[in-house]
Structure 1
Amino acid sequence: MALFYIQGVPIGYMSIMLAVIASMGGFIFGFDTGQISDLLIMPDFLLRFAQCGTPGDVSTCSFSTVREGLIVSLLSIGTLVGALIGAPTADFFGRRRAMQLECLMFVVGVIIQITSTHTWEQIALGRMVSGFGVGALSAAVPMYQSETAPPQIRGTMTATYQLFITFGILVAYCISIGTRHMSGAGSWQTVIGIGLIWPAILAVGIQFMPEASSPRWLAAHGHIEKAERALAACRGMTAKQAESDFIIKKEIDEIRSSVEYEKSVKAGWLECFAPERKMLYRTLLGMSLQSLQQLTGANYFFYYGATIFQSVGISDSFVTQIILGAVNFGCTFGGLYIMEKFGRRYPLIIGGVWQSMWLFVFAAAGTARNPQTDQGIGTLMIVSACLFILGYATTWAPGIWILIGETFPTRTRAKQGALATASNWVWNFLIGFFTPFITRDIQFRYGFVFAACNLLGAVVVFLFLYESSDISLEAVDMMYNDPDCKPWTSRTWAPPGYNDRKDLIDQTRAAEQHKAIAEVEHVEKAGEPSGQNGFHDSAAAENGTVKH
């Protein structure tokens, strides 16, 4: 039974459940990202893994720039490798099985970390092993969500991955503030060890999702009937209802045509860099957007936020971290709405400009006055950081993950998605490792660098990104290969047979309305009250056709 309708199209509970369960991969990512900032200033963690002038005296303990950078950033080396191996894993085992294997890899990394006693290298190694799982999940989950979600809610469903990243960061901050006063290793081992729960939820939960395989992956492996059932489940329909449904038939025909074409072309890694069909264009675009997401500067705050706010004179940087995390999480809900309502291009362009503006304020304030002696400057810097996070959480944070799931054709989606995500992790590593060196030399002027990168991101989106909202993944492929369509005109493009994007939406809605009316009339003629059939009743009520 359909839960609700969007643009006249039924949306089933399965679409929502698949998006939420798969998004636990994002929660794992966020939890691992958020915990390290607070771990670095926990007393027992410092005593065990930092360099101490006087053994046992935490006030003399500190991390060297190299050691701190490696502990933070080796996670990103693991995620880089994981993102690249995630593509063949997802294609070979299928999206669901691949995610379960990647959860197991993350668990191994957590165990390595919590069994360390005094060896910082073991902590760094464990984070790198966990990174293998996190990186592979970061490539697989958005792709899986985009392949299963109906086009009308694909942006929202894919953006739940980013929502869960922010939720994971916030939960990590909250757990850290609760364990920081625990005696001994429990203060930091508890934070890391709780990370075992999240992959268990994902691995077990996805197993119990019926029809949980990607329709496009099923079709590519010759299971057209299963693909149709998977689409029907996401629409809240039975297999019998799907047999006569206009939307299902149209989407299955598109998928079948796309698969048949793709079988005639050998899809290897080199094809991702072929100039034909704008493959190279889209690969470079995806890699650029993922790189620029890191260069917004968000992880400057998430990785080193506790250290940053200590340096501006905040007495309890744990609390400030929670404030930032809460702003990040809360504003991402707005991002779900914005990316669905206004498409992809406008939010990313406006977001880039907004983020640049507040980073400039952050950097200028910290450079003009000493925030440790000027309380007003310190407050201004925290406010500007929160306003930067507001813009990031509503635009660039969810938007880029959505685009990675819907920009590439099916035959190379896993590989191109892996290359794009790997670019994200390369810059993640560079920022994580080199930030201590850079801030030591230029301090808060580092914000000017990120401000410029945000403006560059807005320009790249305007010149090169096509608007992919409201159309099927197969239609997105057609759009990129239409010589008459340009990025700045793509908002109105629609597949052949439609005048523009609005006409596509209107015709889809009209087709569903006509079908709903016909079904209700058929039921009433047969003498069955329409209210006894949940699907018919919901469809008719949505379109105002129920007769009383």
Structure 2
Amino acid sequence: MSSILRYIVKNDAMKTDPKEIYGWRVYLLACSACFGAMSFGWDSGVIGGVINLDSFIQAYGLGSKDDVATANLQGNIVSVLQAGCFVGSLAAYPLTDAFGRRPCLMVAALFTLAGVAMQAAASGHLEPMYIGRFVSGLGVGASSVINPIYVTENAPRAIRGLLTGMYQMFIVTGGMIAFWGNYAVSVHLRGPKQYIVPLSIQGLPALLLFCLMALCNESPRYLARKDKWEEAKAVLVRIRNLGPDHPYVQDEFQEIVDQLDYERRLVGDASFWSLQKEMWTVATNRKRAILSILLMVCQQMTGTNAINVYAPQIFKNLGITGTSNSLLSTGVYGIVKVVSCGLFLLFMADSLGRRKSLLVSSVGQAFCMFYIGLYVRISPPQDGQPVPGAGYFALVCIFIFAAFFQFGWGPACWILVSEIPAARLRPMNVALSAATQWLFNFVVARAVPNMLATVGAHGYGTYLIFGSFCVSMFFFVWFFIPETKGISLEHMDQLFGVAEQHKLEVTEGSKHDVSKIEIEEHSNRSDNRSV
């Protein structure tokens, strides 16, 4: 695996770091945590197909002749999950800081499982369906905050983009499985089983998340923050697959110590309000927080989740007839997303980098959205008429759009928001970013059915609006987003320009080297507290 990665990943860190650190443990940690991401992708894929199944339409009263009323009900069923995700992502910050990354991921998995059970047992009643989707959202939203933090804090710097970007890979994989599951039940099942089965099996990723995280370690950087120095170093030795005296382990551990020492001298003991003050009054931290929030706003305003959730309806609007055919097209769409995301993580995240990927992705997505919108406006598909060549190219543009999203705005946003903050601010920064993502995800999920029904014939204005956002995102990245590939987490302060006076405050009268005696004193204090 190490030799393959060295051939694929092109950055300075990969050339100098020891090959032993790319052992199986670091991949197991990343994959285990990312099953929380798969829960969201699976749910989005399931609900988008289920609401178009005849059995579900009949059971939940979606067959109204009033298109706007049906769109409102569809939007409510879909978007209540995102509302739960918004709440869960905000709650995750204080919990993961207080109790740790690993136990909080396990609790989030239990919330997701409880919500899935309620959805499957709703039996045509909207109230338990709404409550179940909200409860599932609490778990999925919490996972969206904790997962990138946990993976980032465990990952070697050279492949941090690859491992953190696996969050997006698991989202699209879950969506692809759900898309094909919807197609299978539409062909082979009838009656209530047609929607109960896909709603039930979407709990599988959450079950795997709980079981696998029970076997994994806590983040070494979290343990260090809690002054559990010996345990932190032992975990670092194990996941790096090197001896405790190896220079790489010594250097990485010293970087963690130095960074925590610097932050504590700068601000002192952390509290919620002191961290808030540090985030919004220190210029470099404020800049990173605002960039993280804007990245997540942009990610949702590409329109990607509009297509993820309402893909069957969008394919119908572009001339694909029959529920099974639209679900089949959605399944192919899922495959394109998985393949393109895999290509990005292997060949672009840590080689081409985050910034260039976002720029290329913006241009490609804008072209696709503008073409689809103009096609639907100028030559909309007619019922009973064959789809023209221009129409088939519009269908292809849906797949091209998916590929470009996975080449940049999908995985790169999660990578950036989890790696650019200072260590003590990382949970809060990721929580705010994830909450922003879920808020705008909710807005898109709730608004798109109405937009498709009201903004021009076949909703052509919807695509033009999203295309315009993609154009604006190109300029946002060009002027404001720096490149972070191959840079250690402890060196992000330098990249974003820490003020010189803060450096002087930390370094004056002391050095950053922390002796073994100091570390042992930290360890002894930690042991005394536990007793």
TM-score, normalization by structure 2: 0.85
**Shift of residue 62, structure 1, vs aligned partner:** 9.8
Please identify, of 100-109 and 1-10, the stretch whose mean Cα deviation from structure 2 is larger.
Answer: 1-10
Q: Secondary structure at the match of 1:339?
A: coil
Q: Distance in 2 between matches of 1:464 and 1:413?
A: 20
Give 1:106's aligned residue: 112
Does the 8 Å CA contact 1:12/1:233 hold for their aligned counterparts? no
Q: Distance in 2 between matches of 1:435 and 1:409?
A: 36
Task: State the partner residue of 1:363.
Answer: 373
- For residue 32 of structure 1, what is the aligned residue in structure 2? 43
Q: Identify the match of residue 183 of structure 1 among 190, 199, 204.
A: 190
String of CA shifts for 1:57-85, please: whole Å, max 9, x gaps.
xx999962221111011111000011111
Flag the 1:61–1:440 CA change in 2: closer, same or farther, 3 A. closer
| Pairing 1:455–2:459 present | no
Partner residue, 1:13:
24
- Quick check: 8-17 or 24-33, which moved more? 8-17
Partners of 2:107 and 2:389 lie apart in 1 by 50
Could you tell me whether the CA contact under 8 Å between 1:150 and 1:234 is conserved in 2? Answer: no
Aligned to 1:507: none
Which one of the candidate residues 339, 343, 367 is aligned to 1:330? 339
Q: Who is 2:52 aligned against?
A: 41
Tell whether the 8 Å contact from 2:284 to 2:498 is kept in structure 1 after alignment.
no
Q: 1:127 to 1:103 in 2, by over 3 A?
A: same
Pairwise CA RMSD of aligned residues?
2.0
Give, in whole Å, the separation in 2 of the partners of 1:63 and 1:206: 43
How far apart, CA to CA, are the structure 1 residues paired with 2:190 and 2:66?
Answer: 19
Counterpart residue type for residue 85 of structure 1: A
Choose from 135, 149, 153 the match for 2:155: 149
Does the CA-based 8 Å contact 1:2-1:236 persist in structure 2? no
Measured in 2, the distance between the counterparts of 1:2 and 1:391 equals 28
With normalisation by structure 1, the TM-score equals 0.83
Letter of the 1:268 counterpart: F
Q: Which amino acid aligns with 1:255?
A: I
SS in 2 for 1:392: helix
Per the alignment, residue 198 of structure 1 pairs with 205
Q: What amino acid maps onto 1:274 in structure 2?
A: W
Q: Which moved more, 1:122-131 or 1:374-383?
A: 374-383
Preserved CA contact (<8 Å) 1:38 1:173 = yes
Q: Which has the higher contact order (CA 8 A, sep 6+)?
A: 2
1:268 and 2:272 correspond: yes
Is 1:317 the equivalent of 2:303? no
1:290 aligned onto 2:307: no
Q: Distance in 1 between matches of 2:466 and 2:288?
A: 24
CA deviation after TM superposition for structure 1 residue 122, in Å: 2.2
Q: Gapped runs of 5+ residues in structure 1?
A: 54-58, 485-548
| Alignment deviations for residues 116-163 of structure 1 (CA, whole Å, 9 cap, x no partner) | 122123212211110000011011101111110010110000011110
Assess if the C-alpha contact under 8 Å between 2:44 and 2:309 holds in 1: yes
1:242 Cα deviation from its structure 2 partner: 2.5
Question: Given residue 325 of structure 1, which amino acid in structure 2 is its aligned partner?
Answer: G
Partner of residue 405, structure 1: 418
Q: How does 1:58-137 map to 2 (within 5 A)?
A: 64-137=70-143
Kept in 2: contact 1:340–1:469 (CA 8 A): yes
What SS does the corresponding residue of 1:110 show, helix, strand or coil?
A: helix
- Residue 381 of structure 1 and its aligned partner are, at CA, apart by 1.2
Shift of 1:481: 2.2
| 1: CA distance, partners of 2:326 / 2:86 | 30
Residue 274 of structure 1: SS of its match in structure 2?
helix
Instruction: Give distance in 2, aligned partners of 1:171 and 1:294.
Output: 22
Q: Which runs of 5+ in 2 are unaligned?
A: 7-13, 501-531
Alignment partner of 1:381 is 2:394: yes
* CA–CA distance in structure 2, aligned partners of residues 395 and 27 of structure 1: 19
2:350 is paired with a residue whose SS is helix
Match in the other structure for 2:506: none
Tell me how far 1:367 sits from its aligned partner. Answer: 1.0
Residue 242 of structure 1 aligns with which residue? 244
- Secondary structure (helix, strand or coil) at the match of 1:341 reads coil
Measure how far apart 1:28 and its partner are: 0.9
Cα separation, 2, equivalents of 1:309 and 1:51: 19
Number of matched pairs: 473
Identical amino acids, percent of aligned pairs: 28
Shift of the 291–255 alpha-carbon distance from structure 1 to 2, 3 Å rule, reads same
SS in 1 for 2:92: helix
What is the match of residue 479 of structure 1? 495
Other-structure match for 1:349: 359
